Structure 1
Amino acid sequence: MVKVRTQDLLEHFNLELISGEEGLHRPITTTDISRPGLEIAGFFDYYPSERIQLLGKTELSFLEKLSPLEKEVRMEKLCTDETPGICISRGLEVPEELIEASEKHSVPVMRTSSKTTRFSSRLTNYLESKLAPTTAVHGVLVDIYGVGVLIIGQSGVGKSETALELVKRGHRLVADDCVEIRQEDEDVLVGSSPELIEHLLEIRGLGIINVMTLFGAGAVRSYKRITLVINLEIWDKQKQYDRLGIEEEKMRIIDTDLPKLTVPVRPGRNLAVIIEVAAMNFRLKRMGVNAAEQFQERLAGAITDETKVREDSIDPLK
């Protein structure tokens, strides 16, 4: 499925369409942008024609020094059937040879008043956001003290009810039931809600509630980076749960490993408070304060001291 077309760039960045209107439907398949300086100089052996081509003052100034025939040939080669579009920065004048070639091959030529480097950065960020790998996870995403916590678990385990309690405690709901996740960088996962169920929470026995209407705009947010996964599962007497917090599980989403905590669910446990404390403890760990490791060190020190005292009491020469 095509995610971005040249038409989207024209509308999003409010670009001026110069020529090649018939090609506005062309898909953009890569986040990379090309500045075809070598191509304008005549070297087309490795021309990345599938990228958006960005021409700035440097490229157009060099083009002006070429002969009319060279201009025509190189602009023809620049406009291929794969090229999604050509952008001219700084509001510079577009060469006639480029306009003719773009009309002939239906390659949109657009112009912006932004500086080349600035526009390249904005365009790259936009394309990386739109073309990022995506997936969907069944769960609830809540912003707790700035930590994006993805709560997962079997259907009916109490994810939505826990999210409701967290919202009442002042935290913000991002998505319920279905969390759309996109990988914006190597280790950056951003979660959001499908538009159809945005700001909605389903509580069994109560139905669907609108969190923003009930609790205000401060109780929701549109997206949040996911940094912690909490898995809720029904308490299993046969299973040994981590009681110190030394061991760290991981959950892989797309190409990123996220820290994962498994919290057993049983009557009497306040899940909202447990998850809230888990988020605060996670923040402390990132700041270099690890209570479990500190306890382990104190325990090891106490055992060493006790062993020393015993050895001293047994050895008659000491």
Structure 2
Amino acid sequence: MAKSITVKDLLSNTHLRVVTGEEYLQRIIKTEDISRPGLEMTGYFNYYAAERIQLMGITETSFAKRMSHDELMMVARKMMRPETPAFVVSTGLELPQEFMDVAAETHIPVLATELTSSKILSNMTYFLSGKLAERQSVHGVLVDIYGLGVLITGDSGVGKSETALELVQRGHRLIADDRVDVYAQDEERLVGEPPAILRNLMEIRGIGIIDVLNLFGAGAVRSHATIAFNLHLAKWKDDQDVDRLGNGEDITRIQGVDLPRLVVPVQTGRNLAVLIETAAKNFRAKKMGFDATETFNNNLNQLIEENSVHSDDSAEPQA
């Protein structure tokens, strides 16, 4: 489920400062979309997204200087509605006094920044899209391994948390244990984070709950990570069909995004932490164009061709 975001949350996570209305920062933001009210400044209100944050930049403030007091008051009153979260002014500019007066009347905070409109628009959209995106809870562990977010899943009792603990001891970073809240950053990227109640905590059977931050330090945890692939730990079965070459194209779909998926059989004696580290390195190598499976296939094809040539030579009749 999406989180509830206030103007105060936005203020704390972007390069914004309060100009006026500090007592009204608990207003709720319901959408990640930001409006640039250029048409509205001309008096066009046939469609006006009042529930959006309204961003005023050089274009809007410059146009306002050409408007009369009455025109500015009329436009300001139409723009500042009960559902409007806040007004943001970019590039170190100031809102017309008429807008400031109406903002005070309607209890709408006015925020400002020295950043350009495009920069603050990008910052606000990135923050809001992440916070307001729908979450899907996934049973598993998320660990940052060599800068890659690896979502470790598997049956209960297969050893996910114990493996994640060993990975932390080997210098990697825990994002979430037991439950991972996953949301789509865009059409191609998934981001995982821990539920607030489980942040920095792990449950180890026989030991109980441990605080990874306190035991291993700040370098052992992260607040969130982009998920690179899903590694599924499956209990070993003698009749199991195992991918020997690593050229399978297994995919799992989360929040409408396709995520690469590897299945690793779990058997006594297998060092899962080392296997997962190797899987992460191999995944990165493939992304960089180094595919060991392709190299093996090329070597095999070359060997077959050489043997075929030798067989043809030996089959020639003697003179």
TM-score, normalization by structure 2: 0.88
Q: Which residue of 1 aligns with 2:237?
A: 236
Q: Which residue of 2 aligns with 1:88?
A: 89
Q: 1:92 to 1:271 in 2, by over 3 A?
A: closer
1:178, 1:193 within 8 Å by CA — same for their partners in 2?
Answer: yes
2:76, 2:102 within 8 Å by CA — same for their partners in 1?
Answer: yes
C-alpha displacement at 1:151, in angstroms?
A: 0.8
Q: Which residue of 2 aligns with 1:126?
A: 127
- How far, CA to CA, are the matches of 2:94 and 2:255 in structure 1? 44
The residue type paired with residue 51 of structure 1 is R
- How far, CA to CA, are the matches of 1:11 and 1:218 in structure 2? 23
Number of residue pairs the alignment of both structures matches: 316
When structure 1 is superposed on structure 2, of 261-270 and 64-73 the one drifting more is: 64-73
Q: Which residue of 2 aligns with 1:108?
A: 108
What do the CA deviations read for 1:88-113 (whole angstroms, capped 9, x no partner)? 33454433432454455x36140314
Equivalent positions of 1:218-237 (< 5 A) are: 218-237=219-238
The residue type paired with residue 160 of structure 1 is S
Q: Which residue of 2 aligns with 1:144?
A: 145
The residue type paired with residue 115 of structure 2 is K
Equivalent positions of 1:190-209 (< 5 A) are: 190-209=191-210
2:103, 2:110 within 8 Å by CA — same for their partners in 1?
Answer: no
Q: 1:25 to 1:200 in 2, by over 3 A?
A: closer
The residue type paired with residue 153 of structure 2 is I
Q: Which residue of 2 aligns with 1:295?
A: 296
- How far, CA to CA, are the matches of 2:168 and 2:246 in structure 1? 26
The residue type paired with residue 16 of structure 1 is V
Q: Which residue of 2 aligns with 1:187?
A: 188
When structure 1 is superposed on structure 2, of 83-92 and 194-203 the one drifting more is: 83-92
What secondary structure does 1:227 align onto? strand
1:49 aligns with 2:38: no
C-alpha displacement at 1:289, in angstroms?
A: 0.8
C-alpha displacement at 1:85, in angstroms?
A: 2.2
Q: 1:83 to 1:20 in 2, by over 3 A?
A: farther
2:86, 2:111 within 8 Å by CA — same for their partners in 1?
Answer: no
The residue type paired with residue 137 of structure 2 is A
What secondary structure does 2:29 align onto? coil
C-alpha displacement at 1:285, in angstroms?
A: 0.9
Over the residues paired in the alignment, what is the CA RMSD in angstroms? 2.5
2:85, 2:109 within 8 Å by CA — same for their partners in 1?
Answer: no
When structure 1 is superposed on structure 2, of 195-204 and 91-100 the one drifting more is: 91-100
1:80, 1:107 within 8 Å by CA — same for their partners in 2?
Answer: no
How many percent of aligned residue pairs carry the same amino acid?
Answer: 48
